[in-house]
A and B are shown apart, each in its own frame.
Chain A
């Protein structure tokens, strides 16, 4: 289909270059080649030509030379019979169109100095602003670079009615986008439509009336090219640098309203070079090309009430939600707040009613951003002391979203809801418990506010991952049951995915240098089967953290060649640790206690160390205050482990790692464990028991001693002998 578009672009380019040719020759005749031409108040000459070709057009004579180049480069019109790849010639034709249009506009400035206002605001008798001068470009450009303006929309043509024009403009304004308007359709322009409706236009309201003709579109592209030179440090003539700066960092799109002419297509083809996609309200054929950007280039036939959202979806604009619109205060200060029985207005879950919460990812087209639905009663329809079933379904979509991130997003629900003043949240998944206090109810707090808050916070905290969030809250029993059914399936899939994820299946591990502020040479290596020793960061957490904060403490490491599968040593991991520890640590074994063990910061959940007499190891958790068979309490052991030093025989680990199949693999794994504090043993029982089955000693769990058996090696050894603990007959540890 792209042949239709491409041939139109090339036809359009021919027409526009032809026009420029005539105009330029007339002007040369009248003023001669030394006549100065240019746009007002800029050091970038005719910016597109200057940025792409490096040619400063100062005089008519220079323009003539550029036009000669244009003519030489202009691809031939497309033959109806012959089918060839047309993408490249069409893009070239588009580029040449823009050169020709800059010359046309520059001559216009020469012929009719008052055609454009050359101001930021419109004048009473003239609404056409023309090219932005450097002062405007810098002032507004800063907003694009610092993110206060997420991008801009170039509007070609006019809406079918004034009302629709206002609606589109308002919608774009609400999203803080700049709206750059040019060209007309059916004798009208969008700018005039807005003025007619009494809307104030001009740079200050972000509704910019560039000009009535399609050639004014070149002012928009000129703005982008100058931004790249000014803010991106791109040199004139570095067309590649300029185009990629814009593709990567300037979020612009074209909305074409009205019949798409060859000239429009030529302009659009020009803009596509900068990664600017076209969204049209007419049935133009779609266009995709992986070579330029990872989104559609042309999308047609979009209804007016969806056109803004579609444009945002296509270009992948990030929308900022700064305000959490709920009647209660919000913040970490309220996290620990309890709602006691006497303060209780409403509750659900916690064993009292059915309740579930779930975050899932969906296709972009299935999620309407900001939509909050309540299915069943909200708080204004219940009375004090009521209990209802509760289902919270959060559906998110985004270009960077992966199903793997769902549990991480879902896990935030707990603290996000707790941050609401007067609301308490406990638990997760289908064991969640929600309590709403009387004070919140008095202030008009509704369940829908939970939805609003989630929408805002998800956008704020996961900007890089998600583009859209919608929330459904169910209090209708039948619907909640349906949701629980769905959730159970999803939970099962997730658990299986995590279970199935091993250090062998994943090639990328993550670093964590979060703690280097106090343990400067410590580097954590987090693999699917060895979670961070703090217990707070597993492999998936690190992956998400890296998506959110690509320059942050969790960096992906392609582990590279495996140097020792038993001890858990990889070439690139060693390389990374060496660099990140600033050469202090050169070699790390992820699964070993005795040889090049991983360093620790100070935040480990547990310490594991050897018990030489028992030929085994013990693990003690931070919460266990008592003495251990090593002769040291946790605090003393912690001093030996922390600070980023490798101390063979002492290792900081997470509780979760004890039940990992990679737990101290180098020393023989779980079978080496001879002592655990009772509290820790109970906490991890459910996860460790299946591993006991796996290692072929189903009764192993009961062979592990605890403080009730003894707190010295002498005390526990007879117990181990009596139970036939496998460590006693394993290879010597020392």
Chain B
């Protein structure tokens, strides 16, 4: 007896967004079905992983996260180089952590110079991610856009409080923006509308629904992403048909469960393995909810997730 598996009829499709510039292009999006429902539709571009690089030496990282980059951690250019050459990174996400007014608070021009250097030396699509302070990000990311004219960087997070400033500059210097909203489908849609009204073109937009990692609100992120994809694919909600990016590593590696040493928490087991699995599992869940680009940190976590993506993509019907 054969069982007919019921199939969903989709009415929408995620937009395909071309990242990077000529010679190093990557396309994301384009899904015409729910994540990995390859028996119902297609995912022409498997999800991509961007490897994190920090603009200054990170503080407060568990040893496990520092270890793979110990030799390059003082130099963002070399760090990016190692990610690409040694770990085969498809994209780089430059985290401008030192611009944070509560941290080192480096000025915008200095930050932009770092971004420019990394951009000049990096031959894969580059994400430049601000510190999350609305005003400082506007200042920094505008300078980055200007100095990296025409490189089609992926600039984020662009929030409701600074979308005009960053959006307008991104249009002028031809970059892609990441519309970032705090785990809320309506706010996500609204920011997409606002960016559209500002004339940010639809092929220059990716959305970031914000992240809660495992044990810290992952289910909220998951269900908002799920709803965004349902609206986009089955309810013809055009303003939500964009690829999704998630900046997850930062949140994973600051959780208590990852930071506690084995001596402090013997029940939690090997600290390194724990961190890697925490990151990989968070990423895996987000893939299931519809992530197109994941910003990740640990090479071993990335390897696990890549393997999983490959397997899921090569699954045959039945």
What's the nearest-Cβ distance from chain A to residue B117, in Å? 21
* A712 contacts the other chain (CB 8 A): no
* A148 contacts the other chain (CB 8 A): yes
Q: Contacting A147 at CB < 8 Å: which of B164, B190, B193?
A: B164
Q: How far is the CA of A552 from the CA of B167 in the complex (A)?
A: 19
Q: How far is the CA of A583 from the CA of B237 in the complex (A)?
A: 12
* B173 contacts the other chain (CB 8 A): yes
Given contacts A145-B198, A551-B190, contact A583 B168 (CB under 8 A): no
Chain A, Cβ-Cβ closest to B191: A551
Residues of A within 8 A of B230 (CB): 582
Residues of A within 8 A of B146 (CB): 139
* A232 contacts the other chain (CB 8 A): yes
Q: How far is the CA of A233 from the CA of B195 in the complex (A)?
A: 13
Known: A146-B167, A231-B199. 10 other contacts (CB 8 A): A145-B171, A145-B172, A145-B199, A146-B165, A146-B169, A231-B168, A232-B199, A233-B201, A517-B187, A582-B231
B190 touches A552 (CB 8 A): yes
CB<8 Å pairs between A and B, sample of 24: A138-B172, A138-B173, A139-B146, A142-B142, A142-B165, A142-B168, A145-B164, A145-B167, A145-B199, A146-B164, A146-B167, A146-B168, A147-B164, A230-B171, A233-B171, A233-B201, A516-B185, A516-B186, A517-B187, A520-B185, A551-B194, A552-B190, A553-B186, A582-B230
Give the number of chain B interface residues (Cβ < 8 Å): 26
Give the contacts of A209-235 with B (CB-CB under 8 A): 230-233
A233 touches B199 (CB 8 A): yes
Residues of A within 8 A of B227 (CB): 520, 582
Chain A, Cβ-Cβ closest to B138: A146
Chain B interface residues (CB < 8 Å from chain A): 142, 146, 164-165, 167-169, 171-173, 183-187, 190, 193-194, 197-199, 201, 227, 230-231, 235
Q: How far is the CA of A516 from the CA of B230 in the complex (A)?
A: 15
The total of Cβ contacts below 8 Å across the A-B interface reads 58
What's the nearest-Cβ distance from chain A to residue B179, in Å? 13
Q: How far is the CA of A199 from the CA of B117 in the complex (A)?
A: 39
Q: How large is the interface on A (under 10, 10 to 19, 20 to 34, 35 or more residues)?
A: 20 to 34
Chain A, Cβ-Cβ closest to B201: A233
Residues of A within 8 A of B164 (CB): 145-147
A141 touches B235 (CB 8 A): no
What's the nearest-Cβ distance from chain A to residue B63, in Å? 38
* A242 contacts the other chain (CB 8 A): no
Residues of B within 8 A of A551 (CB): 190, 193-194, 197
Contact pattern, A 570-613, Cβ under 8 Å of B = 1, otherwise 0: 00000000010011000000000000000000000000000000
A583 touches B235 (CB 8 A): yes
Chain B, Cβ-Cβ closest to A515: B186
Chain B, Cβ-Cβ closest to A513: B186
Given contacts A139-B146, A146-B169, A520-B227, contact A582 B235 (CB under 8 A): yes
Chain B, Cβ-Cβ closest to A553: B186
Given contacts A517-B184, A552-B190, contact A230 B172 (CB under 8 A): yes
Contact pattern, A 136-170, Cβ under 8 Å of B = 1, otherwise 0: 00110110011110000000000000000000000
Residues of A within 8 A of B186 (CB): 513, 516-517, 553
What's the nearest-Cβ distance from chain A to residue B183, in Å? 8
Residues of B within 8 A of A233 (CB): 171, 199, 201
Q: Which 6 A-B pairs have the closest CB atoms?
A: A145-B168, A146-B164, A146-B168, A138-B172, A146-B165, A517-B184
Q: How far is the CA of A148 from the CA of B169 in the complex (A)?
A: 12
What's the nearest-Cβ distance from chain B to residue A204, in Å? 16
Chain A, Cβ-Cβ closest to B198: A145
Secondary structure class of chain B's binding surface, majority of residues? helix
B199 touches A142 (CB 8 A): no
Residues of A within 8 A of B201 (CB): 233
Q: How far is the CA of A308 from the CA of B185 in the complex (A)?
A: 44
Q: How far is the CA of A516 from the CA of B183 in the complex (A)?
A: 11
B172 touches A231 (CB 8 A): yes
Q: How far is the CA of A551 from the CA of B189 in the complex (A)?
A: 9
Q: How far is the CA of A513 from the CA of B187 in the complex (A)?
A: 11
Residues of B within 8 A of A148 (CB): 165
What's the nearest-Cβ distance from chain A to residue B181, in Å? 10
Chain A, Cβ-Cβ closest to B235: A582
Give the contacts of A494-543 with B (CB-CB under 8 A): 513, 516-517, 520
What's the nearest-Cβ distance from chain B to residue A555, in Å? 11
Chain A, Cβ-Cβ closest to B163: A146
Residues of B within 8 A of A553 (CB): 186
Chain A, Cβ-Cβ closest to B239: A551
B185 touches A142 (CB 8 A): no
Q: How far is the CA of A148 from the CA of B165 in the complex (A)?
A: 8
Chain B, Cβ-Cβ closest to A549: B190
A141 touches B185 (CB 8 A): no
Chain B, Cβ-Cβ closest to A551: B193
What's the nearest-Cβ distance from chain B to residue A346, in Å? 37
What's the nearest-Cβ distance from chain A to residue B4, in Å? 24
Residues of B within 8 A of A139 (CB): 146, 172
Give the contacts of A225-255 with B (CB-CB under 8 A): 230-233
Residues of A within 8 A of B168 (CB): 141-142, 145-146, 231
A141 touches B194 (CB 8 A): no
Chain A, Cβ-Cβ closest to B236: A579
Give the contacts of A5-52 with B (CB-CB under 8 A): none
Q: How far is the CA of A233 from the CA of B196 in the complex (A)?
A: 11
What's the nearest-Cβ distance from chain A to residue B151, in Å? 15
Residues of B within 8 A of A552 (CB): 190
Q: How far is the CA of A516 from the CA of B228 in the complex (A)?
A: 13
Residues of B within 8 A of A579 (CB): 235
What's the nearest-Cβ distance from chain B to residue A15, in Å? 37
What's the nearest-Cβ distance from chain A to residue B141, in Å? 12
What's the nearest-Cβ distance from chain B to residue A51, in Å? 16
Residues of B within 8 A of A232 (CB): 199
Residues of B within 8 A of A520 (CB): 185, 227
Listed residue (B165, B168, B197) with the most chain A CB atoms within 10 angstroms of its CB: B168
Q: How far is the CA of A552 from the CA of B189 in the complex (A)?
A: 10
What's the nearest-Cβ distance from chain A to residue B49, in Å? 29
Q: How far is the CA of A230 from the CA of B173 in the complex (A)?
A: 9
Q: How far is the CA of A517 from the CA of B230 in the complex (A)?
A: 16
What's the nearest-Cβ distance from chain B to residue A56, in Å? 20
Residues of B within 8 A of A230 (CB): 171-172
What's the nearest-Cβ distance from chain A to residue B126, in Å? 21
Residues of B within 8 A of A138 (CB): 172-173
A142 touches B169 (CB 8 A): yes
Residues of A within 8 A of B142 (CB): 142
Q: How far is the CA of A232 from the CA of B200 in the complex (A)?
A: 8
Chain B, Cβ-Cβ closest to A138: B172
Given contacts A232-B199, A582-B231, contact A141 B167 (CB under 8 A): no
Residues of A within 8 A of B183 (CB): 517
Residues of A within 8 A of B169 (CB): 142, 146
Q: How far is the CA of A139 from the CA of B147 in the complex (A)?
A: 11
Chain A, Cβ-Cβ closest to B165: A146
Q: How far is the CA of A498 from the CA of B171 in the complex (A)?
A: 46
What's the nearest-Cβ distance from chain B to residue A705, in Å? 41
Contact pattern, A 81-120, Cβ under 8 Å of B = 1, otherwise 0: 0000000000000000000000000000000000000000
